[in-house]
Structure 1
């Protein structure tokens, strides 16, 4: 350890005009613990500053930290935190050569120095806006609030609910069923009854606004806040805001929550807030309650509190994934909610689809929980005098709502064949239908019916091969292009003769069903990861279809390991011999010209 410290200390002498070792507690930061700390002076752009170098407990597995001893020494600069910490590099993807600790120190120092120089020379001023929310969250005495609305370009009145016991606060713009469900899921209580209500407003700043956040040590006063807002809003927003301010008056215990957005690139918005509270008379002012809004005229003394926003709106959360905001508003009908269908439902919700119609006639059985998205908690309802099984449709709806409360879900506990006779519109009233029944006979019937019906959206069929050798996803009825599920079963010479599925990786005329407890428990053997892999290709195909990126009707397949299948004496098909690249390149070549459903139906 001493040898390591001597090596580092020697390297630091090359970086600083003077350097010394200091006790770790002299680094005024809570980012420790540190195994060692040093302090040195160096000149940058004509200014002499003192920097502290702190080595984390696991250095050189972790990067060294650099602090300005006086955080205000160079003024308010991007990437300098309240404790003087210089954020010179992100940890994600960081690679450190542990065998060269001195080299790590030197490289890190030069990056920290560059960060400071860019700030002094105003090269990185744009970072103030990009990191505005981060700077704002580090203001003194901030309060955190949740928001359940998507920032728009229009001035709006907001509803605010606060739990007076904990201070937990949430801001919403409406109280529709989805918002109420989200509030109930989030806080595990009836927010409308248990929280106290206040009012608030949302003010969108105009495109091109470029404001600098307040320094950590000097927050804005009311004049600066007023100027920041009125100098950066459109004339339309100004009219609406002035109309509101003219009518809004305050008493002693009133509060006003003000949310403000700043447009960024690609439709994104910065969101931050200010709370006005504790209204009371000024010492020498005769004016009594009620007082005018501080944004109109400061007639009273009041408190100003910065609000940091924890956003729950779908658009913002999807931007943190590779989810797609274009899927918001899209509706998918999912037929079959087994191990495959249940996973597809969750992945589509995570991708951004907002509305579902879920169809399945069965209850969840304990036999399937190790390969199903739902678990043991979804097996039974506890009623007053008995336990009852739960349908897959209802259980999956509840689980989706638990994860994503603002979804819109309809479900039917019914046989899809009955629905085709009684309420076809329920099925086809979507942007996409996905069939994951694992029953070729029923799926062939649905394929024929969907092609005969008018107004049917694109349809995806998804299914698995046994024993982990693969899975498939087929798109049909997309942009009037040929190809359908029946093509896979149509004889090359006789359109009326059905053959085994040509897409299968298992050779035909083999029975893979297994039973552990008699005929009623027959099942096809495949694993959870097989269902997951198939759900992935089906979901990817669904997303491309909903976004209009897929122009044809491809057959997509993934190929697994055949070792288990072969060890049990089964055979693979000729198609299994194709490489993954060949399978993809031939994804449109399954079509049969004389298919009786999508082709001309003529036998050769």
Structure 2
């Protein structure tokens, strides 16, 4: 919308609390709004996307910046903190009026003393827009010595200044397999201290000098913590032109606000904790949290699964997708078991892509070797998820190794397309009392998929697959006894056709079943199946013809099962 059109809309807006309005620039307008007891001066800045996006609101009453919540250090007002505003781009004038009214409500509410605690809860929001530092540390109420990775400043007038880039309790607490964190090793490591405050202190604003903040900060360090900090700083502290500290403050939720404060001086000085000087030049940095507790809660994962271990047997199309989903659910450890290598023929239906195909010959014998599926999958998981332990076993699971591999495992997910091997594993897992098992696989040619959640004490895979008395109760969707495989290069290239989309459907069901068990502790025997489209290429079962697109069936023990029934 053009500036002229916006100006025309604003000219026609009128309501009781709107005292005056003035165009400052093309898309910038100032408004005077009468609140309950305060006359507010507010500036609205309209983006090029208006009316499809709301304007930004800035408080011009500088005396209230740092005194009321939902207004940051630059005066920007968090209008969305109140009731949501329904944006109807067909009525732009109504959008502007509704936004102004909402802004007024937020300011009036924020000015009440009863909401003062909200300002202390959003200290980090107050300095929103500041530079950020990646942090792998979670603050507590105790002082600690931390490590900070820094890079030299490009400021030629002050070459002794540096920029902080990463924070941790120790260098070993940074997960160097995650993303490109190994790049941090190229940069200098310095020690700093964490200063926990007993009561929140609002940082100084750009228009305010530092003495007020530093003075209040020191008042909120307990006597015991002051002693610990002096001890952490050492008996012979050096004078420097700058110091970094991590400040943390309590929030009403029980968590702590955290941000980095940089103290700068033109002349070398002792650490701010050790001197009475209060005229430091200050700069604040927001913390971009990478600690596990924050990432799990923020990402919708579960902290309760941090001590759980899941084994995935078979890391092909379905198994690799299951492993990635389980890893992002918050489990503490995953065991990957598969003896196959990753090849080019896998990339269109596997969670891994061409990045894990190797074309580089060995320096020793000049042979180009493939990556194993488990090692490639481990690398992918560790690169994308920072706080998880992954063990790999580049061989098939068997009766000889099942006990050692499965030690400490809470649930086993078998994602092998071969029913004969799955039945063999079913028997082996049952014999070793590894009872919480999920079996999942795709039907051929996108006809569907299944995931069986089973407590092998109650129902095993053989109970389900072999029901001699009533074949109509079979869970299968495609009839046995017909050719289902394809080959493109002869016998060496035989494969069962299905797509990556099929695998994601089956894997998501299996992952949800596993997560439900890990969080509830209850494994209710049931099979969940999804149905694809009948392409007419294969003969289907009665179940395929009658079932809905998704179906869940409770399972019961088969008295004639040779594995767990009377025939065992």
TM-score, normalised by the number of residues in structure 1: 0.82
Q: Identify the residue that residue 350 of structure 2 maps to in structure 1.
A: 372
Q: Identify the residue that residue 45 of structure 2 maps to in structure 1.
A: 54
Q: Residues 93 and 111 from structure 1, CA distance in 2 versus in 1: closer, same or farther, beyond 3 angstroms?
A: closer
Matched residues in 1 for 2:33 and 2:401: separation? 81
Most deviating of 117-126 and 321-330: 117-126
Conservation of the 8 A alpha-carbon contact between 2:246 and 2:258:
no
Task: Verify: 1:160 aligned to 2:148, yes or no.
Answer: yes
Equivalent position SS for 1:399:
helix
Q: Identify the residue that residue 23 of structure 2 maps to in structure 1.
A: 21
Structure 1 residue 147 displacement after superposition: 1.4
Task: Verify: 1:561 aligned to 2:512, yes or no.
Answer: no
Q: Residues 253 and 55 from structure 1, CA distance in 2 versus in 1: closer, same or farther, beyond 3 angstroms?
A: closer
Q: 1:171 aligns with which of 144, 167, 171?
A: 167
Q: Identify the residue that residue 423 of structure 2 maps to in structure 1.
A: 444
Equivalent position SS for 1:508:
coil
Task: Verify: 1:89 aligned to 2:80, yes or no.
Answer: yes
Q: Deviations over 1:7-53 (max 9, x none)?
A: 431114665223333323xxxxxxxxx3xx43332322333333333
Most deviating of 54-63 and 142-151: 142-151
Conservation of the 8 A alpha-carbon contact between 1:483 and 1:591:
yes
Matched residues in 2 for 1:540 and 1:305: separation? 46
Q: Deviations over 1:170-192 (max 9, x none)?
A: 2222344x735247x4344361x
Equivalent position SS for 2:189:
strand
1:436-515 to 2 correspondences below 5 Å: 436-454=415-433, 456=434, 458-477=436-455, 480=457, 482-493=458-469, 502-515=474-487
Conservation of the 8 A alpha-carbon contact between 1:507 and 1:574:
no
Structure 1 residue 73 displacement after superposition: 5.7
Matched residues in 2 for 1:143 and 1:101: separation? 34
Q: Identify the residue that residue 30 of structure 1 maps to in structure 2.
A: none
Equivalent position SS for 2:328:
helix
TM-score, normalised by the number of residues in structure 2: 0.87
Structure 1 residue 264 displacement after superposition: 4.9
Q: Identify the residue that residue 151 of structure 1 maps to in structure 2.
A: 139
Task: Verify: 1:273 aligned to 2:263, yes or no.
Answer: no
Equivalent position SS for 1:503:
coil
Across the two proteins, how many residue pairs are aligned to each other? 553
Matched residues in 2 for 1:306 and 1:368: separation? 48
Structure 1 residue 571 displacement after superposition: 2.0
Matched residues in 2 for 1:248 and 1:401: separation? 41
Conservation of the 8 A alpha-carbon contact between 1:461 and 1:475:
yes
Q: Identify the residue that residue 337 of structure 2 maps to in structure 1.
A: 359
Q: Residues 77 and 190 from structure 1, CA distance in 2 versus in 1: closer, same or farther, beyond 3 angstroms?
A: closer
Equivalent position SS for 2:295:
helix
Could you tell me which runs of 5 or more consecutive residues in structure 2 were left unpaired when the two chains were aligned.
155-162
Q: 1:251 aligns with which of 230, 233, 239?
A: 239
Structure 1 residue 91 displacement after superposition: 12
Task: Verify: 1:402 aligned to 2:374, yes or no.
Answer: no
Q: Deviations over 1:437-486 (max 9, x none)?
A: 111111111111111114x26221111112223222122337x5x11211
Matched residues in 2 for 1:541 and 1:22: separation? 59
Conservation of the 8 A alpha-carbon contact between 1:71 and 1:80:
no
Task: Verify: 1:186 aligned to 2:152, yes or no.
Answer: no
Q: 2:557 aligns with which of 591, 594, 600?
A: 591
Matched residues in 1 for 2:175 and 2:16: separation? 62
Matched residues in 1 for 2:473 and 2:357: separation? 34
Structure 1 residue 93 displacement after superposition: 8.3
Most deviating of 86-95 and 396-405: 86-95
Matched residues in 1 for 2:82 and 2:392: separation? 44
Q: Residues 261 and 12 from structure 1, CA distance in 2 versus in 1: closer, same or farther, beyond 3 angstroms?
A: same
Structure 1 residue 432 displacement after superposition: 1.9
Matched residues in 1 for 2:86 and 2:236: separation? 56
Q: 1:537 aligns with which of 500, 509, 521?
A: 509
Q: Identify the residue that residue 99 of structure 2 maps to in structure 1.
A: 108
Structure 1 residue 247 displacement after superposition: 3.8
Q: Residues 144 and 340 from structure 1, CA distance in 2 versus in 1: closer, same or farther, beyond 3 angstroms?
A: same
Q: Residues 41 and 276 from structure 1, CA distance in 2 versus in 1: closer, same or farther, beyond 3 angstroms?
A: closer
Matched residues in 2 for 1:3 and 1:487: separation? 72
Matched residues in 1 for 2:182 and 2:234: separation? 38
Task: Verify: 1:135 aligned to 2:114, yes or no.
Answer: no
Q: CA RMSD in A?
A: 3.3
